[in-house]
Amino acid sequence: MSHIAIIGCGLVGRAWAIVFARAGREVVLWDAAAGEGEAAIARIERNFADLAAAGLVAQPAEALRRIRIAPDLATALAGAAYAQESVFEEVETKRQIFRAIDACIGPETAVGSSSSGIPASAFTEEIACRARCLIAHPVNPPYLIPVVELVPAPWTDRATVQRVRALMESVGQAPVELTREIEGFIINRLQGVLLMEAWRLAEEGYASVADIDRTVTDGLGLRWSFLGPFETIDLNAPGGVADYARRLGALYCRIAASRDVHQPWGSELIAEVERQRRAILPQSQLAERGEWRDRRLMALAVHKRDAER
Amino acid sequence: MSHIAIIGCGLVGRAWAIVFARAGREVVLWDAAAGEGEAAIARIERNFADLAAAGLVAQPAEALRRIRIAPDLATALAGAAYAQESVFEEVETKRQIFRAIDACIGPETAVGSSSSGIPASAFTEEIACRARCLIAHPVNPPYLIPVVELVPAPWTDRATVQRVRALMESVGQAPVELTREIEGFIINRLQGVLLMEAWRLAEEGYASVADIDRTVTDGLGLRWSFLGPFETIDLNAPGGVADYARRLGALYCRIAASRDVHQPWGSELIAEVERQRRAILPQSQLAERGEWRDRRLMALAVHKRDAER
């Protein structure tokens, strides 16, 4: 099997390296900044130690040895089955790296961009290899959260989408395939509509930020950790999803229609939400709580793996 | 400690009986239909056996013995600390039962309605005990999903809300307090906006129903099973929630604004979603999958309890 190239070794690129190396693939890192590859490998080693302690990687030393650093972009790409691009999310930066990739890529390599919002059509239109480029958007960190959105540009080959889907499945990810581009793709659209309603409810004083969070952590989110929104309602009416839609569709339509004015979150609202969050969690403990989140995600990954057996 | 009255012994009333009896409270059941109390106890015994096998109730036989049946509504309510009403969700039915409750309730009893959508103001306005009535809306089954929405009518006593909140916390539930009524309360509003977007994405053919579900089960829902939407974004920007709002608020506002036309789900769309769901899960397997969901919820409850220790 030919190797996987990781283009950009920041937080997202490193996490992708872990995904591929853990699954047995050879991984070649490249970053425009000197020393970034070495720094990435040191951090990946610590991540592998945590994953091994949680039972989420069997042979961390072997996995780490599958990752090496390329001296330049052309070497990283030479003979690669796939390249995952994770540079800074800014359209001109994306355009530049895709032009550089285009200049040295072989016909055997597909390229996925980790872009969480900018569609591939914004930065691949004018390059020769554009039919083999698409968005492969992860949720961080992809070695704990398996979903990856595959979003083709209008000129992306159907075969490329299928190939990248198969690759992602082969390394244990859960690819989701969009038929075409849309702002926010699916994940950020679903998260976005829920966030907009949550912020409005806080703004109008219906409940505290902590209580709104609790409706999800002790309610909706429990089912959603293993049942999607469609399967949830399919199981929530005696006759399944169509029965549910006839019973409750009108209610949800009224709720959606009650928010016809869409305004940005104002500075007073942002200050109030921040005040409530900082009362729950001081700024100085944000990083520590982020580490707690990652431990909880690891424990949940183990739980789900065992529950699905 | 005085007892808890359960008014209406269907699926929801039975689940509430389990919540209170498991936590050590005496429970008295009443149902307008003859034989319903006895049938409920037989089903509760089976539920307790399942919960005991999962490690979610320590002494199922003792818990079951704390549940008894009252011959009439007045006996069920006499001396009760709290009554949980779970009759059929239809406004006239709710009005009738609250009139009947009003006729025999003592001054020491608060009443929570399990109503998932009808606000308390629609059926408690004209009764004498209205200051001690509110909505206490669970997600089914409340012995596995702890959230409960407390929604006061305009005339509900502040002290009643506080008392019911303390009671719910004392039996292991996770109460969420609304300051006033709003259609759908919080849980169904948050679920509703996410469902509306999911259905629209399916209608417009951006992805299959299965792939839209996967963005939640293998992505968003993992964090949401232990992090609320506000805490999720608070940990997703270096400077916390205000930093996140400044970076991404405009994107989410554009996404929300892109759905300014709110139309009901049409019959063709419902048929298409049903077609996709039935291809994944035949109608004949809905009940079995519901039992699988309940087993997964039990396993998740054990996982969360252990992870939070």
Residue range B291-301, pLDDT digits in tens:
999 999 999 99
Q: Which residues of B touch A139 (CB under 8 A)?
A: 219-220
pLDDT of residue A155: 98
Question: What is the pTM (predicted TM-score) of this model?
Answer: 0.95
Is B76 a residue whose pLDDT tops 80?
Answer: yes
Contact B55, B302 (CB under 8 A): yes
Confidence of residue B237 (pLDDT cuts 50, 70, 90): confident
Q: Which residues of B touch A179 (CB under 8 A)?
A: 205-207
Q: Which residue in B253, B277, B300 is closest to A230 by CB distance?
A: B277
Measured at the alpha carbon of residue A89, what is the angle toward residues A37 and A38, in degrees to the nearest 5? 5
Q: Which residue in B210, B215, B240 is closest to A147 by CB distance?
A: B215
In this structure, chain A runs to a length of 309
What phi and psi values does residue B232 have, to the nearest 5 degrees? -55, -50
d(CA B119, CA A111): 53
Average pLDDT for chain A = 95
Helix (H, G, I), strand (E, B) or coil at A128: coil
Contact A196/B195, CB-based, under 8 Å? no
Confidence of residue B259 (pLDDT cuts 50, 70, 90): confident
Contact B245/A117, CB-based, under 8 Å? no
A149 touching chain B per CB within 8 A: yes
Helix (H, G, I), strand (E, B) or coil at A176: strand
Distances (CA, A) of A201 to A212, B116, B167, B183, B228: 8, 18, 25, 12, 14
Q: Which long-range contacts (CB under 8 A, 24 or more apart) does B258-267 make?
A: B258/A183, B259/A193, B259/A256, B259/B196, B259/B197, B259/B200, B260/A260, B260/A262, B262/A253, B262/A256, B262/A257, B262/A260, B262/B196, B263/A253, B264/A249, B264/A250, B264/A253, B265/A245, B265/A249, B265/A253, B265/B199, B265/B203, B266/B203
The DSSP code for B130 is G
pLDDT of residue A261: 72
pLDDT of residue A237: 87
Confidence of residue B304 (pLDDT cuts 50, 70, 90): very high
Each residue of A157-182: pLDDT tens digit? 999 999 999 999 999 999 999 999 99
Query: Given the DSSP bridges, would you call strands B67-69 and B110-113 parallel, antiparallel or unpaired?
Result: unpaired
Q: Which residues of B touch A286 (CB under 8 A)?
A: 234-235, 240
Q: What is the mean pLDDT of residues A229-257?
A: 91
Interface of B with A in 30-59 (CB under 8 A): none
In this structure, chain B runs to a length of 309
Q: Which two three-digit tokens encode residue A296? A: 């909880």
Q: Which residues of A touch B146 (CB under 8 A)?
A: 218-219
B219 touching chain A per CB within 8 A: yes
Q: Which residues of B touch A230 (CB under 8 A)?
A: 198, 202, 209, 212-213, 273, 277
A249 touching chain B per CB within 8 A: yes
pLDDT of residue A189: 96
Domains and CATH numbers, chain B: 4-177 (3.40.50.720), 188-308 (1.10.1040.10)
pLDDT of residue B238: 84
Q: What residues contact residue A90 under an 8 Å CB cut-off, 6+ apart?
A: none
Cβ–Cβ contacts within 10 Å for residue A308, how many? Answer: 8
What phi and psi values does residue A174 have, to the nearest 5 degrees? -115, 85
A228 touching chain B per CB within 8 A: yes
Q: Which residue in B178, B229, B274 is closest to A241 by CB distance?
A: B274
As a whole number of angstroms, the longest Cα–Cα distance in chain B is 61
d(CA A274, CA B234): 9
C-alpha A254: how far from chain center: 31
d(CA B282, CA B45): 30
Helix (H, G, I), strand (E, B) or coil at A256: helix
pLDDT of residue B258: 87
B290 touching chain A per CB within 8 A: yes
pLDDT of residue A135: 98
pLDDT of residue A289: 93
Mutate to test the interface with B, among A169, A171, A211 (most CBs of B within 10 A): A211
The DSSP code for A7 is E
Is B261 a residue whose pLDDT tops 80?
Answer: no
| Closest chain B residue by Cα to residue A192 | B252
What phi and psi values does residue B138 have, to the nearest 5 degrees? -95, 170
Q: Which residues of B touch A254 (CB under 8 A)?
A: 183
Å between B78 CA and nearest CA of chain A: 32
Q: Which residues of B touch A212 (CB under 8 A)?
A: 176, 186, 190, 228-230
Is A295 a residue whose pLDDT tops 90?
Answer: yes
B220 touching chain A per CB within 8 A: yes
Helix (H, G, I), strand (E, B) or coil at B233: helix
Q: Which residue in B177, B198, B234 is closest to A211 by CB distance?
A: B177
Average pLDDT for chain B = 95
